Amino acid sequence: MSTITIRNLTTFDEFRQVMELERQVWGFSDVLDMVPPVVFRITVKRGAILLGAFDERDRMVGFSYSLVGMKEGGKVLQWSHMTGVLPEHRGGLGHRLKLEQRHRALEMGFDLIEWTFDPLQAMNAHFNMTKLGCVAEEYHRNVYGESTSALHKGTPTDRLVAQWHIAKPHVVRRLESVPELRFRTHEVAEAPLVNQTAMAGTWRTCASIDLDREDRRLWVEIPTGFTEMQHQAPDLALTWRMHTREIFETYFSRGYRVVDFALDRPAGFGRYLLVTDPETD
């Protein structure tokens, strides 16, 4: 088993290695979609966290990059722009990089890290919500416009904003426990589904949505394998994008937010748990 070390990145040579990883991980075909070394240089000097993961040959195999940001109202935070790992090193290294990012952010006096993710990427939702303990209450349309990334082509780049309150007890509890969702109450397990889905041949489809629910807790279902769907069934992928956009925008506007995620890989779906008065101390 290879030994991976994680360290801060500070040199132009390291910054160029990060840029190459951007190309490999996301499949960008245009340098305009990538963060260049000069931006790494300036932002690292002013509070950005740029971490690299290196194998035993000192080859960079993963990285994480966040920079200082500010929310409306003046709340200062770390905005995590990218975390990427080469395919052969996935399965734990991304989690290690996020924990290192959290550690450094806490040392610097931050208590919040935010980033965007595609709400239709079930594995990302599982990682962010279930393993790290993030919550979400913001949905933004087509954040990155038309992307040259092979992972993003075909549908608008709509995103949820993951809020990682890194010092709160619920995050600490999640990081210290087995990261599978456990239904805490009978009411959570039996919360109604906003959208009814079913398998239709190869793909899961959304048969109907209900935008008039007023229950305290709701489930929103998404398919697994959305990247493959974008390539092989682009019309269906776009339909999913429009359906979930309508669901999240409607319920967020009424005060709901995402507090958890349940993944059922054998059945080919995942479910977001939305609540109106989340208890996330």
35: number of Cβ within 10 Å: 18
**Tokens of residue 253, six digits:** 């506007």
Integer angstrom CA distances of residue 174 from 44, 90, 177, 254? 29, 21, 5, 27
Give me the domains of the chain, ranges plus CATH numbers. Answer: 5-176 (3.40.630.30), 186-275 (no CATH)
**Tokens of residue 244, six digits:** 């979930």
pLDDT tens digits in sequence order for the chain, 281 residues long: 469 999 999 999 999 999 999 989 988 777 778 899 999 999 999 999 999 999 999 999 999 999 999 999 999 999 999 999 999 998 899 999 999 999 999 999 999 999 999 999 999 999 999 999 999 999 999 998 876 565 556 689 999 999 999 999 999 999 987 545 455 566 687 899 999 999 988 999 999 999 999 999 999 999 999 999 999 999 999 999 999 999 999 999 999 999 999 999 999 999 999 999 755 55
Rounded-to-integer distance, Cα 37 and Cα 15, Å: 5
- Is the model's pTM score more than 0.75? yes
End-to-end CA distance of the chain: 39
Integer angstrom CA distances of residue 53 from 95, 103, 107, 158, 269? 12, 15, 20, 29, 31
